[in-house]
Homo-oligomer: A and B are copies of this chain.
Amino acid sequence: MSERAPAETEAACFEAGIKFGTLYHQFAGTPISPDSAASLAAAMEEAIENQPHCRAVRIDIDTDRLAAAIEEGPAEYTELTGEFMDVEMEIAYEDTLVVAEMHLEDGYPLMEVTGVRGSGVER
């Protein structure tokens, strides 16, 4: 079981992961309220779409959950974390398309590849 170079679909999935780590850790901690959620979502989508091989990013910020967190919390805003957003992304790398998403699962913002379409491993 020796080490080998990555297949095209593996490199594509690596690229998808980079975008998710970027998105999360660039923007986590941003001051946010229901009123500012839309502008932040738009900026995050456009920022990440600048990165190589990133065809589309869709971000859905749950303003009800934001409002509830602010209601319970000590201030009139809160900080962005994974619990407030769902993300879907399409990565086009050579002949491979990867679809990946982030959603809350048992309280953890799970990032995962949901689909691979390509010429790499299994056709």
Which residues of A pack against B, CB within 8 Å?
1-7, 9-33, 35-36, 39-40, 42-52, 73-77, 79, 81, 97, 99-100, 106-108, 111-119, 121-123
Contact = CB atoms under 8 A, between A and B. Distances in A.
Q: Indicate how many identical chains form the complex.
A: 4
Contacts of A16: 14, 17
Contacts of A20: 17-18, 21
A26 B28 CA distance: 8
Main secondary structure of the interface of A (DSSP, over half): mixed
Nearest to A11: B113
A24 B100 CA distance: 20
Question: In the complex, which of the residues A21, A24, A52, A117 has the most CB atoms of chain B within 10 Å of its own CB atom?
Answer: A21
